[in-house]
Amino acid sequence: MRTQVGIIGAGPAGLLLSHLLHLQGIDSVVLESRSREQIESTIRAGVLEQGTMDLLTETGVGERMKAEGALHHGFELAFEGKRRRIDLTDLTGKAITVYAQHEVIKDLVAARVAAQGALHFGVSDVSLHDIDGTTPTIRFRHEGEAHDLQCDFIIGCDGSQGISRNSIPEALRRDYQRVYPFGWFGILAEAPPSSDELIYARHERGFALVSTRSPNVQRMYFQCDPKDNVDNWSDDRIWAELHARVDSDEGHKVVEGKIFQKNIVGMRSFVSTTMQHGRLFLAGDAAHIVPPTGAKGLNLAVSDVRILSDALRAFYKEDRSDKLESYSETALKRIWRAEHFSYWMTRMMHRLDDASPFEQQLQVAELEHVTTSRSAAISMAENYVGAVAV
């Protein structure tokens, strides 16, 4: 088998890259260990920045996002018993769309299938070879048969547990990590919206987030011990915790409903440098992880593949390799900016067990500042919608 670009992983990064390359007349093959049903049904939240929304629309895969996603022009910060709104559109001229990641994946898979793109699900025994040479090769098994896929380039979009990052010699990488001592307890509930927009709540009991999935389904989270077990939380206990953290002195209350999904996710910040070695390039979670507080994970993956697709276009259409050579440097500017914003949001909004009463009051002071100073609110809004120049 032979292709120009071999892509490992059919998450948002891999699928979008394959779609962008197809629009530029560049061949690719996508390999995924899971089934199509699995990747399309693994529920993950998604907040899409303006740039992500625009790219999906411009490339013909944004129609369902525009029809079914929830366009938000702001969000609320809840603290000290009150709520204050950050008006994203007024502050930046931009907006966000709440549209689940697995729905983005469905749209991208449909586009690749419609274009008769090479998508192979259920592959196993994947290994990379000759990434330092001119014909890097991906070996894998699919439907019981062994295959060698020769490529000009290999793009690792296989997440934090994939093989791609570890294929870069450890001596050439430098990994940076911050593991947080808390996680998020997430629920999906059949209920009407508690708010027209996202609510980020800081409370002495811990952080909470209220997000609308649809007019009848709501996604909510609250800070918890990452080693806790969902079986320890009855529905009544969950609702009592959310009421305690989110309800305001002004009469706003969380709307209850039937809970049909519960899960606990850990939180960490992670960046691996370099993002390239020889003919191998990393994109998305294979190279970096952000805590979900800043709503940056999916958008960083989109940013990576936007840069990569342009670099590959320059290589094939203009006989230029400079953009490929500078890929890590270019991508990492945006990545570190997003890492800092996500870290800042996380530190400001969560209960920190090692924080003194003095430091806890600094969190409140920071929230007062960003909700009363227009210049501080603009900075926050620009980071949130992805409008910050890097």
Angle formed by the axes of helices 12-23 and 297-318, nearest 10°: 30
Pairing state between β 124-129 and 118-121: unpaired
Q: Are 6 and 153 in contact (CB under 8 A)?
A: yes
Residues 97, 55: Cα–Cα separation, whole Å:
13
Amino acid at 138: I
Instruction: Annotate 329-390 with DSSP letters as a single string.
Output: HHHHHHHHHHHHHHHHHHHHHS--TT--HHHHHHHHHHHHHHHH-HHHHHHHHHHHHT----
Amino acid at 266: G
Cα Dmax for the chain? 65
Residues annotated as part of the active site: 72, 200, 292, 296, 384
Q: What is the CB-side half-sphere exposure of residue 333 using CA atoms within 13 A?
A: 8
Residues 181, 167: Cα–Cα separation, whole Å:
29
